[in-house]
Every structure is written in C-alpha cells, then in structure tokens.
C-alpha cells in the first residue's frame, strides 16, 4: 500500500534524528561535566549506528519477503 | 546578512543525500515496474539504502548545531 | 558573523523573517493581526462551503455538492480507510477538519491580495500538532493501558537483551519528542521557505526593474521564476496538507495496532 510506504520514510527520518539527537545530547552533557570535547562525537556516531540498526530491525529484517530468508 | 557557516554546511551536506535518494527510488520504481512481484524483496532494500543515504543529511544537521 | 558583506549593493533589502511579522490592523490586539484574521476567515470560508454543499443533499448531486463530497470522500477513503483500517469511522471528522483547515490556510499563500500562508507562522502548526499528539497518545493509552503501551513501545521482540538499554530511550524519544517536532517543523518549514522564495523573486525583479537597461532585461527572468514558483507552491501546499493528515492517520493507526 502506497501510503504505508510513505509513513515508513518519515519514520526512518524520525529514528535517525532521534538516535543522533539523543545520544549526541547525552555525550554533550557528559562533555559538560568532564570538561572534554570528544564524547559528543562519540555519542553522535553511536546514535547513528544504533538508529540504522533499529531501522534494519524494523523494516528490513522483520519483512517476510526478505532476501535473507 | 548574518548567520553561521554551519547552516551553509548543512545545505551543502544535503546535496549528496538528495541525489542519492533520487537514484535509489528511481531504481526501486524501475524494478517494481518491470517486475511487480519483486516488490516485497526490493522494498526493504530501498528502505535500507534510503536510511543510509539520509543518515548523512541528518549528520550534517546535527554537526551544524555541534560545531562552533 | 557577516556573510557576503558588500556583495549585496546598497538599496536592495533581502527578505527575512521580519517579513512574516505584521502590525495589528485595529489597535494593539494580537487578535487582529493578518495571520489571525486569515485563520478566522478560513474557518468562515470552510464552514460556508461545506454547509452549502451538504444542506440540500440530492441523489443526483449539484456541482457544489459534488465538490464537497469529493474532498470528503478523498479524506475518508484514501487517508482514513486505507491507513487506519476497521475503526476508521471515528477519526474521519478529525482528519477531515485538519485536512481542510491546513489546505485552505496554505492556499492563502498564492491567492492574489491575500498572499500569506498562515502556516508559515510557527504557532499554527504547533497548535495543530498538539491536538494530533494528544489524540494518538490518548487513543493508545485508552486501548492498551499506559503500562502496556510503554512496554510495547520500548521492548520490541527478537533483540538481544543488552540492546534494550540503549534502544529504549531512542524509541521513547522518537514517539514523544521527534514525531511531533518533525510534524510541526515540516509544515512550517515548507510554507516559510516557499513564501520567502516568492518574496525574494518578486522583490528582486522589482529592484532590477528600476536599474539599468541590462538589469531590466534580467528582471523578466526574476518575475518569470516567481510566476513559475507560484504554481510549484500550489503543488507543495496541497502535498503538505495531504502529508500532515496522512501522518496523523498513520500515528493513530500505530496507536491502535496491537504490536508497534
């Protein structure tokens, strides 16, 4: 169904923003306490990989017509 | 005219993902149009490609706020 | 920081966010600025149109009844029935109100003499988003209960245990912060950018028209672009109203579904 696909696009973008935003913000908070500069970037990249993993679980792996099956 | 260069960087970083998303869905539509029964195989692949391409654009957005 | 200082010749005022702020028409009340007046006008317009189209409903519809039924049928079947499924009838009035309200207010952006999309002021998309946000959480909590709703949201089956610790905050952030944020920002951003683009090309063309002959020739292109973008804006405005309603329906459908 076309409209379900359209929802998936915006959900993917939401997950990406949430991943990088949340873990980036956590890293920035840690930087603020420890007076360092590195954790915000670690957080952003951790969030990037986590959100791509989450998208993979939601939309690629769980699909019954997947190639891997 | 005032502002930060980070926003210009975000604008530049959206060009690549924009082209990439266009190519991914052009290929997806092409594939589905030629072989409609392949849709369930192609759709997760298109979503994964879309997520990987779009990640770069969102990375630009986040770095525009982080880098001073 | 000053970007492009000296690149813009004195005399040309590039449009900025200040072009979206209007003085009050009567007195100092915030209720009589242009965007608020347009919102009230749109409510009157929508009510008049749909009352007129449904008052004398006939089996063989008149032209106005046909137009009203077409819009209603589109929201009911294409958005409500396709997306939400069996319980869609309850939500059709809500979706229909959102769709017609946003569509009318967006199209004000290209109607001559009005030419201001109300949704390019952030307050209006945010207030519509608050309604959608409350609705889909309320629907889900009433159907599943608060605890089960949060549990389904955070713990999707089939993952290793330690991943839940770092993935659950992500899901919570998506449902409670990012979804309403993107919903409001997408509508606001599209309307704001589109209106800014139209102002830029029109003002630029007008500025070049009062310059040397060679610039006057180029001003034709500027006006041409502004005319072309007007039609493009019409497309974007309809699309944004559709996407906003569609995503609201999808969020409600997700709240009603057993497993997210």
Cβ pair B62:A24 closer than 8 A: yes
How many angstroms separate the Cα of C184 from the Cα of each of C67, C198, C243?
Answer: 29, 22, 11
User: What are the residues facing B2 on neighbouring strands?
Assistant: C2
CA distance C233 to chain A (A): 21
DSSP state for residue C197 in the 8-state scheme: H
- Which of A7, A22, A53 lies nearest to residue C250, judging by beta carbons? A7
| Half-sphere exposure for C226 (CA within 13 Å, toward CB) | 20
CB contact (8 A) between residue A3 and residue C82: yes
In chain A, what are the domain boundaries?
22-61
pLDDT at residue B16 in the model: 94
Share the mean pLDDT of chain B: 90
Query: Touching B: which chains, 3+ CB pairs < 8 A?
Result: A, C
CA A37 – CA A31 distance, rounded (Å): 6
Residues 6+ away with beta carbon under 8 Å from C33: C22, C23, C24, C25
Q: Which residues in chain A have their CB less than 8 angstroms from residue B43's CB? A: 5, 63, 65
More confident residue, A27 or A6: A27
Q: Which residues of chain B have pLDDT under 50?
A: none
- A23 has a pLDDT exceeding 50: yes
Judged against a pLDDT cut of 70, whether residue C209 lies above it is answered with yes
The predicted pLDDT at position B22 comes to 95
Distance CA C95, CA C79 (A): 8
Count of CB pairs separated by less than 8 Å, B with C: 15
Domains of chain B as residue ranges with CATH:
13-66 (1.20.20.10)
Identify which of B63-67, C1-5, C112-116, C233-237 has the greatest average pLDDT. Answer: C233-237
Pick the closest to residue C225 from C191, C201, C192 (CA basis). C201
Most confident of A4-18, A34-48, C50-64, C152-166: A34-48
Q: Is B35 on the interface with C (CB under 8 A)?
A: no
Contact C2 B5 (CB under 8 A): no
What is the pLDDT confidence band of residue C5, given thresholds at 50, 70 and 90?
Answer: low
- Give the pLDDT confidence of C155-184 residue by residue, as tens digits: 877 778 888 888 888 889 999 999 999 999
Q: What is the predicted pLDDT for the residue at A7?
A: 76
| DSSP letters for C91-118 | GHHHHHHHHHHHHHHHHTTTSTTT---G
Chain C, window 163-202: residues with a beta carbon less than 8 angstroms from a chain A beta carbon: 163, 166-167, 169-171, 173-174, 177-179, 181-182
Tell me the residues of chain B between 7 and 66 that have a Cβ less than 8 Å away from chain A: 40-41, 43-45, 47-48, 50-52, 54-55, 58-59, 61-63, 66
Residue numbers in B near C14 (CB within 8 A): 1
Tally of CA atoms within 13 A in the half-sphere of B13 that contains its CB: 18
Extents of the domains making up chain C? 17-256
pLDDT at C137: 93
Residue C2 sits at φ, ψ, to 5 deg, of: -95, 110
pLDDT tens figures, C231-258 = 999 999 999 999 999 999 999 988 888 6
Residue C93 half-sphere exposure, CB side, CA atoms within 13 Å?
1
Nearest C-alpha of chain B: how many angstroms from A67?
A: 6
At residue A63, the pLDDT reads: 56
Task: Name residue, tokens 């959102």.
Answer: C98
C57-82 pLDDT, tens digit per residue, is 777 778 888 888 899 999 999 888 88
Mean pLDDT of C105-127: 91
Q: Is C163 or A5 the better-scoring residue by pLDDT? A: C163
Taking the C-alpha atoms of residue C10 and residue C211, their distance in angstroms, rounded to an integer, is 13
- Nearby residues of C212 by Cβ (< 8 Å), 6 or more positions away: none
Q: Does B3 touch chain C (CB under 8 A)?
A: yes
Between positions 7 and 46 of C, the ones with CB within 8 A of B are 8, 14
Q: Best interface-test mutation with A: which of C88, C157, C178, C251 has the largest number of A CBs within 10 A?
A: C178
Q: What is the ipTM of this complex?
A: 0.81
What pLDDT is recorded for position C128? 95
CB C238 within 8 A of CB C66: no
Chain B residues in contact with C3 (beta carbon < 8 A): 1-3, 5, 8
Query: What pLDDT is recorded for position B27?
Result: 95
User: How would residue A1 be classed by pLDDT, with cut points 50, 70 and 90?
Assistant: very low
What is the crossing angle of helices C213-256 and C92-107, to 10°? 170
User: Which is higher by pLDDT, A47 or C155?
Assistant: A47
CA distances from B58 to A17, A20, A27, B4, B61 (A): 6, 8, 17, 18, 5
Q: How many CA atoms lie within 13 Å of B54's alpha carbon, on the beta-carbon side?
A: 24
Q: What is the largest CA-CA distance in chain B?
A: 54
Let me know the angle formed at the C-alpha of C73 by C72 and C75, rounded to the nearest 5 degrees. Answer: 65
Residue C33 pLDDT level (bands cut at 50, 70, 90): confident
pLDDT of C15 over the 50 cut: yes
Residue in the block written with tokens 């046909």: C66
pLDDT of residue B50: 92
- Given an 8 Å threshold on Cβ–Cβ distance, is C247 in contact with A22? no
Q: Is the pLDDT of residue C102 over 60?
A: yes
Binding partners of C (≥3 Cβ pairs within 8 A)? A, B
Predicted pLDDT of residue A40: 92
| Per-residue pLDDT at B25 | 93
pLDDT score for A2: 53
Q: How many CB atoms lie within 10 A of CB A37?
A: 8
Quick check: helix, strand or coil at residue C149? helix
Residue A3: what pLDDT? 57
Nearest residue of chain B to residue C4 (CA atoms): B1
Confidence of residue A4 (pLDDT cuts 50, 70, 90): low
Tokens representing residue B66 in the block: 């982080």
Question: Per-residue pLDDT averaged across C87-103, rounded?
Answer: 93
Closest Cα in chain C, distance from residue A36 (Å):
22
């Amino acid at each position: 169904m076309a409209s379900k696909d359209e929802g998936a696009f915006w959900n993917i973008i939401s997950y990406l923003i949430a991943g990088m935003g949340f873990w980036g913000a956590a890293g920035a908070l840690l930087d603020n306490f420890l007076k360092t500069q590195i954790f915000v970037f670690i957080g952003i990249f951790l969030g990037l990989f986590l959100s791509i993993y989450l998208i993979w679980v939601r939309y690629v792996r769980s699909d019954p017509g997947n190639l891997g099956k | 005219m005032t502002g930060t260069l980070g926003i210009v960087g975000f604008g530049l970083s959206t060009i690549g993902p924009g082209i990439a998303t266009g190519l991914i869905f052009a290929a997806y539509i092409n594939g589905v149009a030629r072989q409609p029964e392949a849709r369930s195989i192609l759709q997760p692949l298109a979503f994964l490609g879309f997520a990987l391409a779009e990640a770069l654009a969102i990375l630009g957005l986040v770095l525009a706020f982080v880098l001073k | 920081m000053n970007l492009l200082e000296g690149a813009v010749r004195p005399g040309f005022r590039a449009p900025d966010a200040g072009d979206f702020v209007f003085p009050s028409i009567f007195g100092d009340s915030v209720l009589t600025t242009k965007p608020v007046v347009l919102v009230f006008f749109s409510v009157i317009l929508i009510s008049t149109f749909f009352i007129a189209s449904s008052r004398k409903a006939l089996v063989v519809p008149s032209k106005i009844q046909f137009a009203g039924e077409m819009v209603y049928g589109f929201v009911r079947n294409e958005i409500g029935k396709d997306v939400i499924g069996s319980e869609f009838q309850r939500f059709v009035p809500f979706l229909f109100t959102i769709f017609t309200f946003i569509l009318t207010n967006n199209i004000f952006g290209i109607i001559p003499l009005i030419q201001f999309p109300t949704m390019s002021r952030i307050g209006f998309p945010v207030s519509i988003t608050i309604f959608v946000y409350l609705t889909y959480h309320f629907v889900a909590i009433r159907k599943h209960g608060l605890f089960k709703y949060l549990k389904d949201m955070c713990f999707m089956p089939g993952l290793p245990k330690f991943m839940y610790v770092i993935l659950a905050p992500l899901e919570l952030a998506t449902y409670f912060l990012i979804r309403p944020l993107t919903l409001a920002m997408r509508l606001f951003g599209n309307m704001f950018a589109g209106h800014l683009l139209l102002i830029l090309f029109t003002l630029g063309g007008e500025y070049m028209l009062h310059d040397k002959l060679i610039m006057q020739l180029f001003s034709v292109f500027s006006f041409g672009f502004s005319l072309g973008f007007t039609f493009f804006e019409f497309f974007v405005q309809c699309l944004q109203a559709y996407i906003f309603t569609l995503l609201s329906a999808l969020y409600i459908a997700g709240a009603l579904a057993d497993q997210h």
